[in-house]
Amino acid sequence: MPPTASPFWRRPPAEPARKPVATVPRFYFSPNACSLGVHIAFEEVGAPYQAIAVRVSEGEQKLPAFLEINPMGRVPAALIDGRLLTECGAVLTYLALRHPEAGLLPLGDPYLAAKATEWISWFASTVHISFAQIWRSERFTGDPTLAPVWRPMHRSG
Ligand SMILES: N[C@@H](CCC(=O)N[C@@H](CS)C(=O)NCC(=O)O)C(=O)O
């Protein structure tokens, strides 16, 4: 099926060049969402950060104020020194490299570091998207009348 005008297929617009300015990272998450793993990693490294809730259950990821930060309208998102970083794996990798003392990735062993990345990729590309077919079924059927059939299985997130 060719890409359509659906927001699901929309490519994010190119990011404007931003001059890095050292700040406390801003971390955008939603309760009960896949951002939880990144949230745990922010806590694990123990460095200051600001957590900002964007409630997907309330549709807050579609609000213009958030789309201005992350045009893809998804969490997790992080502003690192004013620059946007999205995708669980990318933010986890950033935290591991930025805070090696936290031991989030076995950086001294390329095989083991890649093995950890293998798990992160599997969760992000296989496990997570399987759940999307249940909770966001309308995106896959293209038939909005089917949404009420699945809605009882949806949970807040
Ligand atoms: N591949 C992305 C998935 C991000 C994602 O889909 N996040 C969900 C929450 S679990 C979201 O923001 N959904 C909002 C929406 O679908 O409108 C990642 O690994 O971070």
User: Which of 28, 75, 117 has most ligand 1 atoms within 8 Å of its beta carbon, as the pocket-test mutant?
Assistant: 75
Q: How far is the CA of 8 from the centre of ligand 1 (A)?
A: 11
| Ligand 1 binding site (Cβ under 6 Å of any ligand atom) | 30, 33-34, 56, 61, 73-76, 87-88, 124, 128
Q: How far is the CA of 111 from the centre of ligand 1 (A)?
A: 28
Q: How far apart are the first and last CA of the chain?
A: 29
Give the long-range contacts of residues 83-92, CB within 8 A, separation 24 or more.
83/18, 83/20, 84/15, 87/124, 88/34, 88/35, 88/37, 88/38, 88/120, 88/123, 88/124, 89/117, 89/120, 89/121, 89/124, 91/27, 91/38, 91/41, 92/37, 92/38, 92/41, 92/120
pLDDT in tens, 69-120: 999 999 999 999 999 999 999 999 999 999 999 999 999 999 999 999 999 9
What dotted CATH number matches 21-153?
3.40.30.10
Q: How far is the CA of 108 from the centre of ligand 1 (A)?
A: 31
pLDDT in tens, 18-36: 666 679 999 999 998 999 9
Q: Would you kindly state where each structural domain of the chain is located, as residue ranges? A: 21-153
- What would the mean pLDDT of 32-47 be, rounded to a whole number? 97
